[in-house]
Amino acid sequence: MKKNIIKIFNTDLALPIIFTILVWVKSLIAYLLDFSLGITDPLQIILLIINPLPLAFLIFLLPLFFKKNWVQETFMFLLLVAESALILFNVIYYREFTDFMTVNTILGYSKVSEGLSASSINLVKPHDIFYVIDLLIILGILLRKLFKHQPFRSLNTSNSPQKSINKKSLLALISCSMVGFFAVLSLSEIDRPQLLLRTFDRNYIVKYLGLDAFTFYDGFKTVQNKNVNVNKIPKNLNTVISYNKKNYIAPNVKYYGKAKGKNVFIIHLESFQQFLLNYELNGQEVTPFLNSLIKDKNVISFDNFFHEVGGGKTSDAETMLETGTFGLSQGSFFSSIAQNNTIQAAPAILAQNGNYTSAVFHGDSAGFWNRNNVYKNLGYDYFFYSDYYYQTPTSKVGMGTKDKLLFGESIKYLEHLPQPFYAKFITVTNHTPFTLDEAVDNFPLADTNDQVVNHYFRTAHYLDSSFEEFFNYLKNTGLLKKSIIVIYGDHFGISNDRNKKLAPLLNKSPEEWTKYDNAMLQRVPFIIYDQGIKGGVNHTFGGEIDVLPTLLHLLGVDTKNFVQLGQDLLSPKHQQVVAFRNHNFVTPKYTFYDGKYYDTITGELLEPDETQKKELQSIQKQVNDKLNASDLINNSNLLRYYTPPEFKPVNPKNYHYTNQYSRLLDQEAKDRFTNKSLFIDNSMNSTISEFQTTEPELINNPNELTVPPKTIKNQKIKK
């Protein structure tokens, strides 16, 4: 036995075996410590243990086709680095998204990675060293061997030469690896029939087949989606148009056109969950301003409104609110394919149905989520990003410019926008890891053993105070009565793996916490302020996909001919089926979340009878049809084949985000008699003095409110 092992390690197979074992060990560490794969029976345990081996061994056999030793060794080491990186990056990604990195996510990583360092570092754990320490050791050995002109793979201590494996044996080993993989797949099919056909949950593929298999399969599906057969386009288009007609519901006549011609403010509350409203920590309100606002007679607030984002998170929320379609099932629509798609989005629709000027105000880099390219396809006239805000040692927290600075410093641009305008403010301070100095906001921290949970309430309080200052400015300048304000939380702040730490603060027992509780925490605020509507709390179940038709109907825009997958939340015919991106759902009666059915009212776990099963199957079909329609639209770029009557497709070449301040002033002068700006309405006087703040940086440096930073002069955005 010992001699046979020595013989093996005196051949080319030494490194493939060792590297396969290393990847296998790392995979098991990830399975046990980082991924929540829901193992429920002995077969799944066996599959989990063996599934990394076949493909890993096959991968490390491939370099043996090269003849030169140093090429084989270098290639094998690079493959080990790639395998280790795949595991580590998926581990970090999973901690944030409870999902695995898709090919679209990997390809779009450079467009997402800017500004992520703070939250990524927070996701790193001590045991992550085991994912990389072997690479450092092997690199050292490899370099030492190279300097001594010795083959790295030579592990024998005898004087006998290293034996090369012949190609016939190599092909036989590769065949054995493939047989091993298909054996794993066959066993998986016993436990989970049609595993690769029903890919609603990527956890299943990793659990049964491993991370390598998931990545290869996802790559295949990605290529398949991009290489859409042109002959199928008309059929797919007809499918979508047919679905859109059936899905459309007429607006509520009481609300239709109530805000026609008004300015639109979209206030994006980063990582803001519904439970924060009216919540008190240590006797103090976390969001005192929003608590008072939702009681205003001019406000409709929805208390059963859910985020519906996938792996694209914030960009998915923007996709839904702007386009009426979902994010992708894999990765981010913004980061992967949106810039090449034909899109019918809110800025363009309002520009052509009301002569609106549009702008985004956001204190992060222009390229984050690929916004500098995608916003052109959406039809945004202006995009004021981080270069338009002062960058000082104290101006930025986490993902970008602090919220009070964002609102305050944006006024010098906002007041020159021709009216009516469509203006979106994307806040960032309330973003994981929720770090904010006590000197900036002294709201108390929660007392749990999770620092992310503890700090969440302080940054939420700061966001609430920031928006209050901006709201008061709108009131002081008279903009409030001429505007409709849409306020929404984009996605969860506390991820599901931290919810049990949060539970005691919500008067829940961590031991009794269920997946139903996770589902209910996907609620986010949705608030509409308009002095022309009758306010109150609306209990309709809905989600982010429903915002666009709701807003357009309030503005008096007929959406019947636009392809939008949501439904007007104010319509009495709204169907109240909330579709999550992973095909889970919530209705007023049933909740389906992570493989379990619950009674939405009581939270009781259900064992559906035959009648309930039929009802649930019908709901699931609705959800699947909606998501499938969205995927057809975006993955196949179907809207290039369909243009609604009286709508002109957006040409992104007509938009650019350079020299915007001077361009804005030129447009203001050009439109001064037709689309007057607030500045012109105010007799050519600035309104900045109407903005009152407690932010020390703005108090001590008032020029930051009035004068644009030098960085915007002659600036250019890299494509």
The string of DSSP letters for 149-204 reads T--TT----SSSPPBPPPHHHHHHHHHHHHHHHHHHHHHHHHHSTTTTT--S-HHH
Residue with more model confidence, 45 or 116: 45
Q: Give pLDDT tens digits for 469-524.
A: 999 999 999 999 999 999 999 999 999 999 999 999 999 999 999 999 999 999 99
At 174, which amino acid appears? I
Q: Which residue has the tokens 């357009």?
A: 552
d(CA 549, CA 558): 9
Region for residue 261 given its phi and psi (left: phi exceeds 0; alpha: psi -120 to 50; beta: otherwise): left
Integer CA distances (angstroms), 303 to 162, 306, 310, 457, in order: 71, 9, 21, 19
- Going by DSSP bridges, is the β-strand pair 590-593/596-599 parallel, antiparallel, or unpaired? antiparallel
Range scoring the smallest mean pLDDT among 16-20, 37-41, 131-135: 37-41
**Is residue 376 scored above 80 in pLDDT?**
yes
Q: Give pLDDT tens digits for 443-482.
A: 999 999 999 999 999 999 999 999 999 999 999 999 999 9
Positions marked catalytic: 314
The three-class DSSP label of residue 359 is strand
Q: How many helices (H) and strands (E) does the chain have?
A: 28, 16
Q: Which residue has the tokens 């829901």?
A: 38
- Going by DSSP bridges, is the β-strand pair 382-384/357-362 parallel, antiparallel, or unpaired? parallel
d(CA 684, CA 678): 9
The whole-number average pLDDT for the span 376-396 is 94
Q: Which helix (H) or strand (E) holds 518?
A: helix 515-520
pLDDT band of 718, cuts 50, 70, 90: very low
Q: What pLDDT does residue 142 have?
A: 74
Range scoring the smallest mean pLDDT among 33-37, 602-606, 617-621: 33-37
Integer CA distances (angstroms), 399 to 68, 119, 267, 359, 428, in order: 47, 8, 17, 20, 6
**Is residue 648 scored above 70 in pLDDT?**
yes
- Answer for the pair 338, 635: CB distance below 8 angstroms, yes or no: no
d(CA 543, CA 245): 20
The whole-number average pLDDT for the span 129-145 is 86
Q: What pLDDT does residue 302 have?
A: 99
Range scoring the smallest mean pLDDT among 47-51, 139-143, 296-300: 139-143
- Answer for the pair 629, 245: CB distance below 8 angstroms, yes or no: no
Region for residue 335 given its phi and psi (left: phi exceeds 0; alpha: psi -120 to 50; beta: otherwise): alpha
Q: Which residues are annotated as a binding site for Mn(2+)?
A: 270, 314, 490-491
Q: Which residues, 6+ apart, have CB-to-CB distance to 78 below 8 Å?
A: none
SS3 content of the chain, % helix, strand, coil (to 5): 50, 10, 40
d(CA 553, CA 255): 8
pLDDT band of 382, cuts 50, 70, 90: very high
The whole-number average pLDDT for the span 617-643 is 96
pTM: 0.78
Q: Give pLDDT tens digits for 63-96.
A: 998 877 778 888 999 999 999 999 999 998 888 6
The three-class DSSP label of residue 426 is strand
* Nearest CA-CA partner of 551 in 573, 566, 535, 572: 566
User: What is the distance between the terminal CA atoms of the chain, rounded to a whole angstrom?
Assistant: 61
Q: Which residue has the tokens 């009481």?
A: 254
Q: Give pLDDT tens digits for 274-325.
A: 999 999 999 999 999 999 999 999 999 999 999 999 989 999 999 999 999 9
Q: What pLDDT does residue 111 have?
A: 53
* Partners of 485 in beta bridges: 265, 529
**Is residue 434 scored above 70 in pLDDT?**
yes
Percent of the chain with pLDDT over 90: 72
Range scoring the smallest mean pLDDT among 328-342, 347-361, 448-462, 620-634: 328-342
Domains and CATH numbers, the chain: 2-226 (no CATH), 260-577 (3.40.720.10)
Q: What pLDDT does residue 154 have?
A: 46
d(CA 159, CA 156): 8
**Total number of residues shown for the chain:** 719
Q: What pLDDT does residue 717 have?
A: 40
Mean pLDDT of the chain: 90
Q: What pLDDT does residue 715 have?
A: 44
Q: Which residues are annotated as a binding site?
A: 270, 314, 431, 490-491
The whole-number average pLDDT for the span 335-347 is 93
Q: How many CA atoms lie within 13 A of 239 on its CB side?
A: 16
Angle between helices 69-97 and 53-61 (to 10 degrees): 150
Integer CA distances (angstroms), 253 to 249, 297, 531, 537, in order: 12, 20, 17, 19
d(CA 71, CA 67): 8
pLDDT band of 202, cuts 50, 70, 90: confident
- Answer for the pair 622, 240: CB distance below 8 angstroms, yes or no: no
d(CA 353, CA 484): 16
Q: Give pLDDT tens digits for 394-411.
A: 899 888 999 999 999 999
* Nearest CA-CA partner of 104 in 234, 231, 207, 219: 219
- Answer for the pair 269, 487: CB distance below 8 angstroms, yes or no: yes
Q: Residue 628, exposed/middle/buried by CB under 10 A (0-12, 13-18, 19+)? A: middle
d(CA 122, CA 125): 8
d(CA 617, CA 490): 29
The whole-number average pLDDT for the span 324-342 is 92
DSSP code of 127? G
Q: What pLDDT does residue 150 have?
A: 58
**Is residue 156 scored above 90 in pLDDT?**
no
Alpha helices in 521-673 (DSSP H): 547-554, 610-635, 660-670
d(CA 224, CA 92): 27
Q: Which residues, 6+ apart, have CB-to-CB distance to 338 below 8 Å?
A: 319, 370, 373, 374, 377, 634
* Nearest CA-CA partner of 620 in 595, 591, 585, 596: 585
